[in-house]
Amino acid sequence: MTEVFALRGRVVTSNRIITDGAVVISGDAIVWVGEAPDAKAAGFGDEVLAATSPSDDRYLLPGLIDVHCHGGQGVSFPDAQTEEQALGAISEHLRWGTTSLVASLVTHSPMVLREKAEMLAGMCAAGKLAGIHFEGPFIAQGNCGAHDPSHIQAPNAPLVRELLIASRGYAVSMTFAPEKPYAMGASGVADTLIAGGAVPSFGHTDTNSEKMREALIEVRQMLAHSARARCPHATVTHLFNSMPPMQPLHPGPIPEILADAAGGGVIVELICDGKQLAPSLIRNVYELVGREQIVFVTDAMAGTGLGDGRYLLGGQTVEVKDGLATLAADSNCQAGGTSHLIQQVKIAHQAGIPLVDAVYCASYQGAKVLGDDQLGEIAPGKSADLLVTDADLNPMRVYKRGVVVF
């Protein structure tokens, strides 16, 4: 017999907070959401009465979704040799409420990328991961960040197809520089990704405003005419990071990206950890483009959950000091993040973004990028992936498919 139970607290839905709310779960799905006093009339009185008594000391959030994560707990996905090692990184984020995680690889040789994609695809098939993100290898030398420049190569559609095959349908996105030859255009990287069910993501780029605008317009048209697109929007990999800054006479790609997002185009990734971007800047972007075009990502590396020290990221040594990760050989080069998504929700909310919208950017929006309409929202029929926190948004309990996992 399928177990039916309820959770009670301040329920954060996609459009409001139900102060004395209840979420009824049957098996692995949510079957009812509403005001707790209304549960009896809906036929769920016993389950709600058996749940926690009325209280405003806890929130019920949808399970969080991170579509750009390199690792945690001492392990990075690009360097993991076994599934067991990768599970350590997944567990680090799961216990903080991230119930769906996309494993991000970094620029490397085609052989290594294929090998890692094959291993991670097996973990996706087993339900441990939500997908795979290729950050590179078709990026700009001038803004490669912590990526090993020796492995950067020119855009290569046949290699994209090989990586999509190795990923067995679990490739969610690929980051590339749109200004490079064969990145755009018919049978280019963007076109090949969309045809293969993956999301084009612009980033690690040296592009100017004109080329950025052309790429944004072109990818919109590609997506509008595609029947195989995973998501109706392209994305931008960690906006502001690893791209030319805005200058009065050389505005670069950022204004074009913001204008396109404000018009319902690209979804921009923001690392809302207080280390990579100022919280006030996060709020400004929210006020400019709205929650529908923002997805919070951790860009987390192996040091997440462990503190200061030295770690590996794609063969590169990274040093973490006070939560800031930089290349050991270049302290001015940031090398991923060290936060968990729930911490980003707290930072965004403290900066002035309404809690409902901050949670949306860390849950529903990720589901949109994944192309999975069963995730990211507390609503009837959705998967019972839930995060219970205290009044200060500190995790207390995590459910995945209706089962307590932390």
Rounded to whole angstroms, how far apart are CA atoms 199 and 401?
Answer: 26
Q: How far is CA 336 from the centre of its chain?
A: 13
Report residue 52's pLDDT band, with 50, 70 and 90 as the boundaries.
Answer: low
347-388: per-residue pLDDT in tens? 999 999 999 999 999 999 999 999 999 999 999 999 999 999
What integer is the mean pLDDT of 211-238? 97
Report residue 47's pLDDT band, with 50, 70 and 90 as the boundaries.
Answer: confident
What integer is the mean pLDDT of 390-396? 97
Those residues with Cβ within 8 angstroms of residue 377's Cβ, 6 or more apart along the chain or in another chain: 13, 14, 62, 363, 364, 367
CA-wise closest residue to 130 among 361, 376, 336: 376
pLDDT exceeding 70 applies to what percent of the chain?
99
On the question of pLDDT at 391 being above 80, the answer is yes
Strand order from edge to edge, sheet including 64-69: 64-69, 98-106, 131-135, 171-176, 199-202, 235-236, 267-270, 294-296
Helix, strand, or coil (residue 121) = helix
Helix, strand, or coil (residue 309) = strand
Residue with tokens 């404000």: 262
| Sequence-separated contacts (24+) of 48-52 with Cβ below 8 Å | 48/6, 48/8, 48/22, 48/24, 50/5, 50/6, 51/5, 51/6, 51/7, 51/8, 51/22, 52/7, 52/8, 52/9
Report residue 119's pLDDT band, with 50, 70 and 90 as the boundaries.
Answer: very high
Q: Which tokens in the block code for residue 304?
A: 């997440």
- Amino acid 400: pLDDT: 98
Q: How far is CA 205 from the centre of its chain?
A: 20
The residues pairing with 201 across neighbouring beta strands, listed in sequence order, are 175, 235
Q: How far is CA 134 from the centre of its chain?
A: 13
Query: Residues, the chain, total?
Result: 406
What integer is the mean pLDDT of 242-261? 97
- Amino acid 305: pLDDT: 96
- Amino acid 49: pLDDT: 79
Rounded to whole angstroms, how far apart are CA atoms 178 and 183?
Answer: 5
Q: Is the pTM of this model over 0.75?
A: yes
Question: 151 and 135 in contact (C-beta within 8 Å)?
Answer: no
182-204: per-residue pLDDT in tens? 999 999 999 999 999 999 999 99
- Amino acid 54: pLDDT: 64
Question: What are the DSSP calls for 229-252, one per residue?
Answer: -SSSS-EETTTTTTSPPP-SS---
Report residue 55's pLDDT band, with 50, 70 and 90 as the boundaries.
Answer: low
154-179: per-residue pLDDT in tens? 999 999 999 999 999 999 999 999 99
On the question of pLDDT at 137 being above 90, the answer is yes
Q: Return the number of other C-beta atoms located less than 10 Å from residue 108's C-beta.
A: 23
Question: What are the DSSP calls for 316-382, one per residue?
Answer: EEEEEETTEEEETTEEEEE--B---HHHHHHHHHHTT--HHHHHHHTTHHHHHHHT-TTSSS-STTS
What integer is the mean pLDDT of 224-238? 97
Question: 200 and 194 in contact (C-beta within 8 Å)?
Answer: yes
- Amino acid 3: pLDDT: 87
On the question of pLDDT at 2 being above 80, the answer is yes
pLDDT exceeding 90 applies to what percent of the chain?
96
